[in-house]
Amino acid sequence: MMKLKITFLPVLLFMAGSLFAQQTPAPEQTTPVTIVGATAHLGNGEVIKNSLIILEDGKIRTVTDANSTKMPYRGTVIEAKGKHVYPGFISPNSTLGLVEIDAIRQSDDEDELGEMLPHVRSIIAYNAESQVVESMRPNGVLTGQITPRGGRISGTSSLVQFDAWNWEDAVLKENDGLHINWPNSIKRGRWWMGEDPGVKPNDKYAEEVQNLSEFFRNSKAYLAGPKDQKNLPFEAMQGLSEGKKKIYIHADGEKEIIDILNFSKEHQLENVVLVGGYNAYKVADELKAANVPVLVGRVHNTPNLEDQDYDLPYKMAGLLHEKGLLVALETSGSMERMNSRNLPFYAGTVAAFGVDKEEALKMITSNTAKILGVDDFMGTLETGKDATLFISEGDALDMRTNKVTHAFIQGRQISLESHQTELADRYSKKFESQSEQSEEVAEQQ
């Protein structure tokens, strides 16, 4: 009996692995691909109704109006008349691949112990075989900025593509920026610790800001002087004041945002990006003057205060855009990894609440690429850029019509299957079979 168990154990493990394994990453592009007839949404505000797009060697070689050219088709031809083609959507400030199952601590790598952790690199914890990551692709979310959480300084993020064997294959831009969680000037009492649950001023706010400022000064002094003993956190601050690395500062309050702008001036910081920015519309002029872009918090949310407009989160991005700010959308919050697949529908809601649809599209494509500093090779459908794009049967910003038929990452046609699509097919067939049996019984009666 014992031998029988040993014999079948590897078989059972293999079956379990086969059932839930991620799709095998696509091989490098070897044959040109020509997409003909689709309405091309370039991601820069332009639309070509009847497009001709040629992909070769992982790059976009041609994007033009099919009516105005006699250019011959090359390689595999995809007839896409009546469909739409878009740049791959980009999910910034994401913890995709850092947590698989929240309840299992061993699968949670989004946070490290400590407060000042600029030397923590999220990319080395990224799980390219995450089942959650593969579920992004059927909605056109093909790349993301993998970002650490926790502490005052969380560490550095990196940009990845969502079809890879490991993090080394996935990375598009390594250590693109530093993430700082700005202190809150107010706090809520922790009722579970016997505190008053109401809102009150944070008595330690000034001290917490001072500690952060002191860390920046000390790191700058360390980098400018002799290094008798290596300090990893200070070493990781290299390039911030020179503008070589982005600084993503997470904050929502009006006072906090003003203090961030003053902090940036004091420490001569360039390339500062505001993340979240719930009250950014109140100080939009100041942000515009400081040339600070905003990664707007999740659109599908409720107002924080009772006296605020019910649709404030829906129109937040539009309010900032009207002020001339560079705006993109991010998805952090409750169940953020699973909800990242809804990124295109957040843009759709922004469009429904006053923003031009192509402008809303830019908030998850070209604007995001500009903010992340990768617009030289991605974010739009332009000649010479990475062939990271997808074809949808309808409007990709509408959950009813976003049905992706083909998707490419750097010219590689990727699988759109996942454990979710497999389950959907499985149970669809089940109910189709039951419906057919019911119809047969009805006919016999």
Mean pLDDT score, 199-209:
91
Report how far residue 292's alpha carbon sits from residue 249's, in angstroms, rounded to the nearest whole number.
11
Report how far residue 400's alpha carbon sits from residue 356's, in angstroms, rounded to the nearest whole number.
19
Q: Is pLDDT of 191 > 90?
A: no
Every domain of the chain with CATH number 2.30.40.10 lies at 21-88+379-420
Q: Is pLDDT of 323 > 70?
A: yes
Mention every residue, 6+ apart, whose C-beta is less than 8 A from residue 8. Answer: none
The runs of H, that is alpha helices, within 30-143 are 131-134
Every domain of the chain with CATH number 3.20.20.140 lies at 89-374
* Average pLDDT of every residue of the chain: 90
User: What confidence category does residue 6 fall into, taking pLDDT thresholds of 50, 70 and 90?
Assistant: very low
pLDDT value at position 431? Answer: 77
Backbone phi and psi for residue 115, each to the nearest 5 degrees, phi listed first:
-110, -50
What tens digit of pLDDT does each residue of 225-259 get?
A: 887 888 999 999 988 877 788 999 999 999 999 99
Q: What is the pTM of this model?
A: 0.89
The runs of H, that is alpha helices, within 21-147 are 131-134
pLDDT value at position 285? Answer: 96
pLDDT value at position 436? Answer: 66
What architecture (CATH level 2) is domain 89-374?
A: Alpha-Beta Barrel (3.20)
In 3D space, the residue among 354, 351, 352, 382 whose CA is nearest the CA of residue 364 turns out to be 351
User: What confidence category does residue 5 fall into, taking pLDDT thresholds of 50, 70 and 90?
Assistant: very low
Report how far residue 117's alpha carbon sits from residue 40's, in angstroms, rounded to the nearest whole number.
43
In 3D space, the residue among 301, 255, 249 whose CA is nearest the CA of residue 275 turns out to be 249
3-class state of residue 413 by DSSP: strand
pLDDT value at position 22? Answer: 61
Distances (CA, A) of 416 to 57, 144, 298, 328: 21, 17, 25, 25
Q: Is pLDDT of 406 > 50?
A: yes
Higher pLDDT, 305 or 368: 368
Please tell me the CATH code under which domain 21-88+379-420 is placed: 2.30.40.10
Report how far residue 125's alpha carbon sits from residue 304's, in angstroms, rounded to the nearest whole number.
33
Distances (CA, A) of 259 to 68, 102, 143, 182, 356: 53, 34, 32, 9, 32
Report how far residue 22's alpha carbon sits from residue 375's, in angstroms, rounded to the nearest whole number.
29
In 3D space, the residue among 163, 105, 171 whose CA is nearest the CA of residue 418 turns out to be 163
User: What confidence category does residue 445 fall into, taking pLDDT thresholds of 50, 70 and 90?
Assistant: low
